[in-house]
Amino acid sequence: MTADETGRETRLFITILVLTMAMMVMKAVLAPAPPIDTLAVSDNDDIMRFLSVRALLEGQAWYDMTQYRMLPPAGLDLHWSRYVDAPIAALVWVAAQVVPMAQAEAFALVAWPTLLFLLLLLATGFAARRVFGTQAAIVSMIALALWPPTGLTYFGPARIDHHNVQILLTCVVLITLLLPGRPVRLGLAGGLAAAMSLAVGLEMLVTLALAGVVLLVQTVLRQPGKGWQLVVFALALSVGAVLLFVGQTPPVEWPVPKCDELSPPFLALAGVGALICIAAAVISAWMGSLGLRVVAVLGVTAIGLAVVYPLIAPCFGGPYGNLPAEVQALISTRITEARPALPPLLAGDEMAFRFVFPAAAAVMIATLVWGVRAMAKRDGVETTGRVAILLAFGWLGVIACQFQIRLVLMGAAAVPFLMGYAIAALLPGREGGGARAGRAVALAGTVALTLLSPTLFTLVRSQEAPSGPASGQASTTAAGSADASDCRTAELVRSLDAAPPGLVLTSSNFGPVLLLLTDHTALAGPYHRSAEAVANGALPFDGDETALRSALASTGADYLLLCREARYGDGSSFATELARTGEAPGLEPVEGPDPALILLRVTGDGAG
């Protein structure tokens, strides 16, 4: 390639990068609703994260992650990390030095996810250009903007939960596996990013383990420098995880094993993993036969896993393992993101389609392109190996989402790279002869199935039925109702402050937003650390009159909140009847809130 051609490609890459960044910034800044109103209809976890940030700014202790306005007086214990709260709080504090607090909060709600997206865009764009060329990099950046999980859902205004942080961190880990460079630096960067990801949340644990496996295989195969990178990666991960654990966990809880956050079982797993990696590097350096290296490394791995198994085995049931069976069932059926992907995908569910279909299509098409090009030797050995690494991560996400839709994020960092690789490989001029027409058809089909499929799906659905609330906009359904979420708007919820502050029993989906926009306290929320909070938000609303009145009595609720004309449970519940009639003995209608809501005061015999 001549200097002029290189210059033109560089200018084109920078132009697309700047335009994409500008587009995403403008989309965030010019959002039609105020950020706090966007947060009110966003994911419940984003709301609870924001409430944690507020509490931190108001003086709540660093180690105290309790939300005291849910299930008072003890409050709701959260398993989240202050390492995400801190930078958001810093943005609020800095902005509050020059503007009122409400505007400072609005600034942080827009700035934080937008900043994370810009960092992800820069990392993906420059890394893709380095390993696959300018055309693939341009497509990868466009893919980031068009694929809903990255371009809209997790990096949009008010999306301040930890998922976007984890996508960025796993992208850093993945890039350290793709880029050439000094092994020690790459291992250190990847290991520290992996440690921070574990401190933020455990959702990417398998993804990070896969990164270690990739380095382990490369080390056994004696690829240059990979042994050192593996050792440094493992040490940085294990030591970094310990330091971050100490920084966010109160000393009294250091010995306590927990399955939903970084704790002793996972620290032990990281430590044993580091020892396995060090042993593997030594074995690979000293043993001559590949077969002997493989057997020895497998043996060391088996011994290490056997040692750590007793510590990690109790967590095999996942974070919900210790909850009552009926609460586990509520989580698996009511939380949209916790459902397996295939049934809703086949049923045309919007969230499942927009999240899963483009990713699955990208992985499958990239696998086919990679296989054809590898057999035809059109890619070099390094490129073939890099795509194989990306495919491993991509397939992990596709397979994992068959258990829970949200687990597609395990492969989220690889999806834009795979789209860029596949589409760039099909661009005109890369092959000659009579295959040009076939290549054009394949290119059009790939673009439609990957980059454009979410938009095409939305257009088709808009022609079939009137538009409704975006699927997956909130992480839970409202006590199983068909339309109760229509009442969860900022204006309607704020109207509840017309009533004196009190303890409110409502469906899970209303608990967090009630805390965000009113002075009331809540008894229900979709958070697995409290079986009571999950059950309060569903079982009373699904059951008969006795179940609802018993819940009012046991919780000591001052109010019962319903969405007018909503359908709760299977439609035969007492709550559904109340939502239609708005009255019952011992439940006194409260004047003042918007008529779309029914707020009933519990009188002396209301909880009988």
Give the tens place of pLDDT for each residue, 444-456.
999 999 999 998 8
Going by C-alpha positions, the residue among 185, 174, 187 that lies closest to residue 238 is 187
What mean pLDDT value characterizes the chain? Answer: 90
Neighbours of 556 (CB within 10 A): 12
Question: Where would I find the beta strands (DSSP E) of 356-421?
Answer: none
- 507's CB contacts (< 8 A; 6+ apart) are 478, 479, 481, 484, 524, 537, 538, 541, 568
Instruction: Show the tokens assigned to 40.
Output: 């009110």
| pLDDT score for 472 | 37
Neighbours of 186 (CB within 10 A): 23
Determine whether 154 is exposed, middle or buried from the number of CB atoms within 10 Å of its CB (0-12, 13-18, 19+): buried
d(CA 585, CA 325): 33
CB burial of 397-407 (b: ≥16 within 10 Å; e: otherwise) equals: bbebbeebbbb
pLDDT at 432 over 60: no
State the residue for tokens 């006795």. Answer: 546
| pLDDT score for 478 | 37
The DSSP code for 564 is T
pLDDT at 466 over 70: no
Neighbours of 468 (CB within 10 A): 11
pLDDT at 589 over 50: yes
Q: Please write down the HEC assignment for all residues of 316-367.
A: CCCCCCCCCHHHHHHHHHHEHHHCCCHHHHHCCCHHHHHHHHHHHHHHHHHH
Determine whether 282 is exposed, middle or buried from the number of CB atoms within 10 Å of its CB (0-12, 13-18, 19+): middle
Bridge partners, 335 (sequence order): 476
| pLDDT score for 317 | 77
| pLDDT score for 529 | 85
pLDDT at 56 over 80: yes
| pLDDT score for 468 | 41
Mean pLDDT of 263-289: 95
pLDDT at 487 over 50: yes
Q: What are phi and psi of 35, to 5 degrees?
A: -55, -40
CB burial of 516-548 (b: ≥16 within 10 Å; e: otherwise) equals: bbbebbbbbbbbbbbbbbbbbbbbbbbbeeebb
Give the tens place of pLDDT for each residue, 295-337.
999 999 999 999 999 999 999 877 666 667 766 666 666 666 7
Going by C-alpha positions, the residue among 126, 122, 117 that lies closest to residue 145 is 117
Instruction: Show the tokens assigned to 548.
Output: 């609802």
pLDDT at 37 over 70: yes
| pLDDT score for 288 | 84
Give the tens place of pLDDT for each residue, 97-112.
999 999 999 999 999 9
Q: Domain-by-domain residue ranges, the chain?
A: 1-146, 162-317, 327-475, 484-602
| pLDDT score for 290 | 93
d(CA 562, CA 533): 17
Instruction: Show the tokens assigned to 414.
Output: 């690889």
Q: What are phi and psi of 322, to 5 degrees?
A: -90, 0
| pLDDT score for 321 | 64
Instruction: Show the tokens assigned to 4.
Output: 């002029």
Question: Where would I find the beta strands (DSSP E) of 515-608?
Answer: 521-522, 559-563, 587-589, 597-602
- Least confident span in 262-271, 369-378, 387-396, 472-481: 472-481
Mean pLDDT of 562-579: 91
Bridge partners, 561 (sequence order): 599
Question: Where would I find the beta strands (DSSP E) of 15-112?
Answer: 66-67, 76-77
- 291's CB contacts (< 8 A; 6+ apart) are none
| pLDDT score for 295 | 96
Write the DSSP assignment of 190-237 as a string of letters.
Answer: HHHHHHHHHHH-STTHHHHHHHHHHHHHHHHTT-TTHHHHHHHHHHHH
Going by C-alpha positions, the residue among 467, 508, 512, 507 that lies closest to residue 40 is 512
Q: Please write down the HEC assignment for all residues of 297-310.
A: HHHHHHHHHHHHHH
Contact call for residues 125 and 17 (beta carbons, < 8 A): yes
Instruction: Show the tokens assigned to 513.
Output: 């937003």
- Given pLDDT bands bounded at 50, 70 and 90, which one contains residue 86? very high
| pLDDT score for 207 | 97
Mean pLDDT of 413-425: 97
Contact call for residues 236 and 192 (beta carbons, < 8 A): yes
State the residue for tokens 């654990």. Answer: 245
Q: Note the Cα 519 to chain centre separation in Å.
A: 29
Instruction: Show the tokens assigned to 451.
Output: 């980059």
| pLDDT score for 605 | 64
The DSSP code for 156 is S
Whole-number Cα distances in Å, 302 to 270, 277, 306: 15, 12, 6
Contact call for residues 319 and 201 (beta carbons, < 8 A): no
Contact call for residues 78 and 67 (beta carbons, < 8 A): yes
Contacts of residues 100-107 at CB distance under 8 Å and 24 or more positions apart, as own/partner, are 102/36, 105/35, 105/36, 105/50, 105/54, 106/34, 106/35, 106/36
| pLDDT score for 480 | 39
Within the chain, what is the greatest distance between any pair of CA atoms? 86
- What is the distance between the terminal CA atoms of the chain, rounded to a whole angstrom? 83
pLDDT at 194 over 70: yes
Q: What percent of the chain has pLDDT over 90?
A: 76
- 344's CB contacts (< 8 A; 6+ apart) are 351, 352, 405
